Amino acid sequence: MKLVQDVYLFTSRLPGYEKFRLGDQMRRCAVSIPSNIAEGRNRSTRREFAHFLRIALGSSAELETQLLLTERIHHVESKNILLLLDEVQKMLSTVIRKLEGDYDKHQLKARSSQLSPTYWSKTSSCGSPP
C-alpha cells in the first residue's frame, strides 16, 4: 500500500498535462499490484493465487518502465519508489516460486503415487498401469 501512496504523491508532482496521461497509467499500475494480490489470495487454489501474483508482477514491471520513462522525459527522481518497487518484485517472485514449488511437489507426489504398484493393485482390476 505504501507503494501506491508514493506513486500517487509522485504523479501529483508531474506537469499538468502528464498527470492525466503517464501519471494516470502509473497510478493504475500501482493500484493493480495490491488489488491482484488481494484477489489471488481469496481464490481457492495455490495455483490461482500464483496466477494473480504473476499479474501483479507484470503490473510492477509496467510501473517500473513508466517510472524510468518519467525520469528520462521530465528529469524527476523516482529512486525511492524504484527501490520500494524492487522489494515488492522480489517478494512477489519469492512467493510465486514457493507457491509453484509446492504445487509442483504436490503434483509430483500424486503422479508418483499413481505409478506405484500398490496404487494400481488397489484401483485396477488387473493390478498394473494401463
pTM of the model: 0.76
Does the pLDDT of residue 40 top 50, yes or no? yes
Please indicate, yes or no, if residue 53 is contained in any of the structural domains. Answer: yes
* 105 found inside a domain: no
- Residue 89 grid cell: 518484485
Tens digits of residue pLDDT in 53-109: 999 999 999 999 999 999 999 999 999 999 999 999 999 999 999 998 865 555 555
Assess if residue 14 is contained within a domain: yes
**What is the C-alpha to C-alpha distance for residues 93 and 84, in angstroms, rounded to an integer?**
14
Residue 103: inside a domain: no
Q: What is the CATH number of the domain that holds 77?
A: 1.20.1440.60
Nearest Cα to Cα of residue 50 among 113, 102, 124: 102
| Number of domains the chain is built from | 1
Residue 114, in any domain of the structure: no
Helix ranges (H only) for 42-129 are 46-74, 79-115, 117-123
Domain containing 56: what range? Answer: 2-96
